[in-house]
Structure 1
Amino acid sequence: MILDHLESFAGLPVADFTTFEPGSADLPPADAVAWRLDCGWDEDRTFDRMWREFLDTVATDRSARRSSAPGGAGITTAFSR
């Protein structure tokens, strides 16, 4: 279905950033999940704003990870400010 979202990506479970409360202690480590950032149709929460919130909330400094995608292509996940 068009509204279904992936549950895993590049061998990692997907975590939806929008489901966590700001300052939540329940956040998984940045390199333990594939983060889903979805601002959808919310005009009050643009992607730029969500990206800043994500970088301010998730410890992205420990997020350099290399994994193997289907077909053997390597994917490097890293975040920058």
Structure 2
Amino acid sequence: MSSIPPSVADELKRHVEAFPPVEVELPWGKPKGQPREVSLLLTTRFGNPIAVNMSNTYSGKAALAKAGIIPPRTVEAKKWQW
């Protein structure tokens, strides 16, 4: 069994203290099954679950570009293009 480094655990603890988990109801399981409540550590600024396309286009890729992992979006690209 592996564990996370103490530095990561410390950052996660600080994040949870500053931004407590948000309880949301998600439709997991069968199409007619019961929704399930879960706690989300990462949400939008409105407390909603993060949609994959939103985090990928607006924050995920921007963070990767800032870190130099992928090239930045070109000046000619539309807001929604990467």
Q: Which has the larger Rg?
A: 2
Asked if Structure 1 and Structure 2 have the same fold, meaning a TM-score greater than 0.5 normalized by the shorter chain, the answer is no
| Structure with higher strand content | 1
Normalising by structure 2, we get a TM-score of 0.28
**Greater RCO (Cα-Cα under 8 Å, separation 6 or more):** 1
